[in-house]
Amino acid sequence: MITDERTSAFINSLDCGNTQFLNGIEDMCRKTDVPVIRTQVQGLLKFLLALHRPKEILEVGTAIGFSALLMSEYAPEGCHVTTIEKYEKRIPLAKENFKRAGKEDAITLLEGDAADILKELDGLYDFIFMDAAKGQYIHFLPDVLRLLRTGGLLVSDNVLQDGDIMESRFAVTRRNRTIHARMREYLYGIKHHEKLETVILQVGDGVALSVKKED
């Protein structure tokens, strides 16, 4: 954990929780080792949605639909979520969860590799949530910026990699060195990009918030 565990536990104990349906999906994710956003990140998303009030949300990385459903639940009425997932075993579960939640009209699931799908999209989004393969963030960034409306918010999850991002590449296991290098490149890129104003928060496993500035 990035933050002190006692502090995190205390903050989490104050959380208001979610709907019973969302709680059930989260429990299933944890029991089956499906990635799910951490409690503090859930709270941050709810806050940002209330503050930013987006009408169009794009999510990169659906898993079985928990975060898409959470954003749809807590976004303003009429907001539409478009979410991308390529892992074939998770797609049917996500679709079933959207159906059970009565969110089939509010959430569109695009099946396939985000690297390909992002290039095909041409709409503008007020809010983009990136929670996919961490080593691919840097490759997604050009299209994500193209799709993000001026004044829109890009939320990038898991950017501190349980603290590994601060370590020398030689202190990271060999199989993780490519992801480590690419995430460092991504963080430098969004912090120094002329079109973005970015802050990196020690929330959950690290969350970067980037606002697209006017030209």
The one-letter amino acid code at 173 reads T
pLDDT one-digit tens code per residue, 87-122: 999 999 999 999 999 999 999 999 999 999 999 999
What predicted TM-score, i.e. pTM, was given to this entire model?
A: 0.92
- Name the token pair of 37: 């956003």
For residue 125, the model assigns a pLDDT of 98
The CATH code for residues 5-212 is 3.40.50.150
SS in 3 state form for the chain?
Answer: CCCCHHHHHHHHHCCCCCCHHHHHHHHHHHHCCCCCCCHHHHHHHHHHHHHHCCCEEEEECCCCCHHHHHHHHHCCCCCEEEEEECCCCCHHHHHHHHHHCCCCCCEEEEECCHHHHHHHCCCCEEEEEECCCHHHHHHHHHHHHHHEEEEEEEEEECCCHHHHHHCCHHHCCHHHHHHHHHHHHHHHHHHHCCCEEEEEECCCCCEEEEEECCC
pLDDT one-digit tens code per residue, 18-42: 999 999 999 999 999 898 999 999 9
Indicate the domain borders of the chain: 5-212
Q: Which residues of the chain fall short of a pLDDT of 50?
A: 1
For residue 172, the model assigns a pLDDT of 60
For residue 24, the model assigns a pLDDT of 94
**Distance of alpha carbon 111 from its chain centroid, rounded?**
17
Pairing of strands 148-157, 80-85: unpaired
For residue 140, the model assigns a pLDDT of 97
